[in-house]
Amino acid sequence: MSSERVEELGIKIVEVLKSIYDPEIPVDIYELGLIYDVMVSDNNDVKILMTLTSPNCPVAETLPVEIEEKVTTLEEVKSTEVEITFDPIWTQDMMSEEAKLELGFL
């Protein structure tokens, strides 16, 4: 897969991620800074490395499944795997300017 196609797919994946919201915070998971990395293999398998706002997050079980299901609906994506990490631990500093503005931190 050409780097141009990988980049196009990456943009589509980010669009999907921006449609998924943390149920406790009215900002999407991408702008919240919960997505640490999106990797696309040569055969279009997607791996997403992400965190949660806290280890006790009530959506720890359901959010990764929702992400996998929605990203896999993209025609080009063969499979999706979501891995949760707490290294580094999420902080408000990881939010985009847009998210901080939405939540009144700016």
Per-run averaged pLDDT (10 residues), the chain, 106 residues: 80 96 89 95 94 87 95 96 96 94 88
Which range marks the domain in which residue 18 is found?
3-90
Domain assignment present for residue 97? The answer is no
Q: Which residues contact 34 (CB under 8 A, 6 or more apart)?
A: 22, 50, 51, 52, 53, 90, 94
Domain assignment present for residue 105? The answer is no
Confirm if 17 and 67 have CB atoms less than 8 A apart: yes
Domain assignment present for residue 96? The answer is no
Query: Could you give the number of structural domains in the chain?
Result: 1
**pLDDT at res. 101:** 93
Compute φ and ψ for 103, nearest 5 degrees: -95, 0
**pLDDT at res. 55:** 84
Domain assignment present for residue 61? The answer is yes
Residue 17 identity (one-letter amino acid): L
Domain assignment present for residue 102? The answer is no
For residue 88, whether the previous peptide bond is cis, meaning omega lies within 30 degrees of 0, is: yes
**pLDDT at res. 106:** 79
Domain assignment present for residue 73? The answer is yes
**pLDDT at res. 105:** 87
Domain assignment present for residue 99? The answer is no
**CATH code at 19?**
3.30.300.130
**pLDDT at res. 1:** 60
Question: In angstroms, rounded to a whole number, what is the distance separating the alpha carbons of residues 64 and 38?
Answer: 13
Domain assignment present for residue 103? The answer is no
**pLDDT at res. 57:** 83
